[in-house]
Amino acid sequence: MCGIVGYFGHGMAPDAAEIVLQRMSHALRHRGPDDSGVHAEIAAGFGHRRLSIVGLADGQQPMCNADGALWISFNGEVFNHVELRRMLEAKGYRFRTASDTEVILHLYEEKGDACIDELNGDFAFAIWDSRQGRMLVARDRMGVRPLFYAERRGMVFFASEIKALLEVPGIEAEIDPFALDQVFTCWAPVPPRTMFKGVLELPAGHCMVLDGSGMAIRQYWDLDFPQDVCGAQNEQAIAEELLALLDDATAIRMRADVPVGAYLSGGLDSSVTCALAKPYAASGLRTFSVTFDTPEHDESPFQQQMVSALGTRHSAVACGPEEIAGAFPAVIAHTEKPIIRTAPAPLHVLSRHVRDAGMKVVLTGEGADEVFAGYDLFKEAKVRRFCARQPGSRRRPLLFSRLYPYLPGLTQQTPESLAAFFGAKGEDIGDPLFSHRPRYRSTAAAKLFFSGDLRKTLEGYDATDEILARLPGDFGRWHPQHQAQYLETKFLLPDYILSSQGDRMAMAHGVEGRFPFLDHRVVDYAARLKPSLKLRGFAEKHILRRAVADLLPPAIAQRTKQPYRAPDSRSFLTGQEPNYVRCCFSAQALEETGLFNPAAAGKLIEKCRRQTDGFRDNAAFVGILSTQLWHRTFTRQSLLNDGDRLLAAVN
């Protein structure tokens, strides 16, 4: 795991380019504290920050092939590098290093751009082919590793994080108001859009070719749900095949020249990951978790149950309001975008704890809910569609109270109120975004606090249109549950969960996360299964539970999904309020950014001080606070208005 930077084009002399690459690379030093390097030519150059995990002694980058015609800068891991190396050696290739980086170089020599299809891993890389005068830039299928780019004076610059691009002369930090609207609707900007105008994100599963003809971007992989779904064969056989796939996905993710640990939340997914990883941990498995002092967020009893069952070496870090508020400014600096929940903050604290324990790599259970329909959203969409088929029914909406038994207020609502609240209307069934409209609407309610000028700029704009434009041609023919899974897997997963909660929080402290459930073989296999094997009635992840039943204590194997959450506004407004909160919500600061209505925001913070639990108010509070912090952290105007920060930036 590393941080990469680079350029393509003829706008700088190599000596000047090397200075820019050094500055860009230095901005990513948290991603790769172990080593660094640059390589600059007239037409292309790379910079690299290294987190040494595979090929410790000889994996330095940027790396070239034997004759120096090919150069690569690579962030991530190729988990099947052992098998690929054997195949390439059989074809006559000779290796100088033990790194997976060199495997990619030789695979490119053998297969050209099609090398990407052979890689099982989490990656973002760029290969400069000086013989052909072209550069191949690629990002992994699921979007685990980030990659951003921007054009300046005929050159294309790219980097693992946007802060490195801001080191390029002429690339300025200017807000994209439409990206902000997407954050306050879809939880994150929809790639290629980012919060920075003129800076784009290479979407997951895409590659980019740069040559004398310009830039060409294509999608090399997409999540697909074939019509001939698998389900006729024996269910036990399906479970056994799934378990074998998951076991191998875990085994190859335990490959490293340093110890590999695991996150343990106490839920089904992380427990499965830990159970599968333990046999491959030669020195015993180390597990890590975060605990809360609020019962609705804390899962420590289940964590301890799994620790006892597996006998892992476990440590936990407590995360209360003080820790969340203390980490939050750094969280925004690393996410590089506003967020509407505080959930990334405890993971920032946890990754620091992992690094302090001397670990660099952890396995996590992310992806299982998307791949096997584990979220409440899938159940809710199923009930909404069932109710919409008979809009006048008084019995069908009562299912919503069964869906959320932990919300006692629902049991007191009339069927008409329940149907209206969840948006179960017959005319909505044909909407491609039917499953996600309630989430988008409830989140967008926080836009009530946008300023008049921002509302005017956004007039007529619908943040979900860019999602609709990216749906595949077969989307309308898929089962509704598969449509919902596609939306969750292709948008929220890479754009928020794997980004703001994943890569950015772990790499803030030089920790690499690995995700067995997101092995593309597992994802493709699960997509071929009929919907009822994933969501059976109200029982989520049915086939996964059957596959792993013998690995876990019954209480864990049968445990209902508890979404990972953290306290929101109360984290900042309980006890001593941080100075930055008062500063960000001050009328002067709000007027300076011009994005929110100062009077409305002032009323909101007073309401939150009275400990509101409403989603809209919490989302609005965290969204406004994080946006103000983002603006203060990145934009030139904010630096000019803050002498201390300007001095720090210069130094």
Residue count (the chain): 651
Cβ atoms of 95 and 102 within 8 Å: the answer is yes
Cβ atoms of 645 and 639 within 8 Å: the answer is yes
State the architecture of 235-371+489-557 in CATH terms: 3-Layer(aba) Sandwich (3.40)
Give the domain ranges of the chain. 2-219, 235-371+489-557, 390-428, 575-650
Instruction: Using pLDDT thresholds of 50, 70 and 90, give the confidence band for residue 427.
Output: low
Output the CATH code of domain 2-219.
Answer: 3.60.20.10
Question: For 493, which DSSP code?
Answer: I
Question: Cα 336 vs. chain centroid, distance in angstroms?
Answer: 13
Q: Name the phi and psi angles at 331, rounded to 5.
A: -60, -45
Name the percent of the chain lying above pLDDT 90: 81
Q: pTM for this structure? A: 0.94
CA distance 144 to 122: 6
CA distance 278 to 550: 15
The pairs formed by 67-70 with CB atoms below 8 angstroms and a separation of 24 or more are 68/130, 69/129, 69/130, 69/131, 70/105, 70/108, 70/109, 70/127, 70/128, 70/129, 70/130
SS3 585: coil
Cβ atoms of 477 and 227 within 8 Å: the answer is yes
CA distance 195 to 315: 36
Q: Can you give the pLDDT at residue 58?
A: 81
Determine which helix (DSSP H) or strand (DSSP E) holds 506, and give its type and residue range: helix 504-507
Over residues 508-520, the mean pLDDT reads 97
Helix axis angle, 376-388 to 415-422, nearest 10°: 120
110-149 pLDDT, tens per residue?
A: 999 999 999 999 999 999 999 999 999 999 999 999 999 9
Cβ atoms of 541 and 268 within 8 Å: the answer is yes
527-560 pLDDT, tens per residue?
A: 999 999 999 998 999 999 999 999 999 999 988 8
For residue 190 the two structure tokens come to 């929809």
Determine which helix (DSSP H) or strand (DSSP E) holds 77, and give its type and residue range: strand 70-78
If you average pLDDT over each of 40-54, 335-349, 403-417, which comes out highest? 335-349
Over residues 54-75, the mean pLDDT reads 91
CA distance 53 to 361: 8
143-174 pLDDT, tens per residue?
A: 999 999 999 989 999 999 999 999 999 999 99
266-289 pLDDT, tens per residue?
A: 999 999 999 999 999 999 999 999
Identity of the amino acid at 75: N
CA distance 623 to 600: 14
Q: For residue 419, give the nearest of 382, 392, 379 by alpha carbon.
A: 392
CA distance 540 to 484: 14
The stretches of 500-642 forming alpha helices (DSSP H) are 504-507, 520-527, 531-534, 542-548, 554-557, 570-573, 579-584, 587-593, 598-609, 615-634, 636-640
For residue 139 the two structure tokens come to 């990002």
Identity of the amino acid at 235: E
For residue 344 the two structure tokens come to 């990334």
Q: For residue 463, give the nearest of 485, 427, 439, 497 by alpha carbon.
A: 439
CA distance 515 to 518: 5
Over residues 81-92, the mean pLDDT reads 98
Unique residue bearing structure tokens 């013998």: 550
What are the CA-CA distances from residue 394 to residues 101, 390, 397, 400, 410 (Å)? 61, 9, 6, 12, 15
* Residues with Cβ within 8 Å of residue 433, at least 6 apart in sequence: 440, 464, 467, 468, 487
Taking the CA atoms of 365, 369, 375 and 379 in sequence, report the sign of the dihedral they define.
negative
Cβ atoms of 178 and 190 within 8 Å: the answer is no
Name the percent of the chain lying above pLDDT 70: 93
Minimum mean pLDDT range among 339-343, 488-492, 612-616: 612-616
639-648 pLDDT, tens per residue?
A: 434 434 433 4
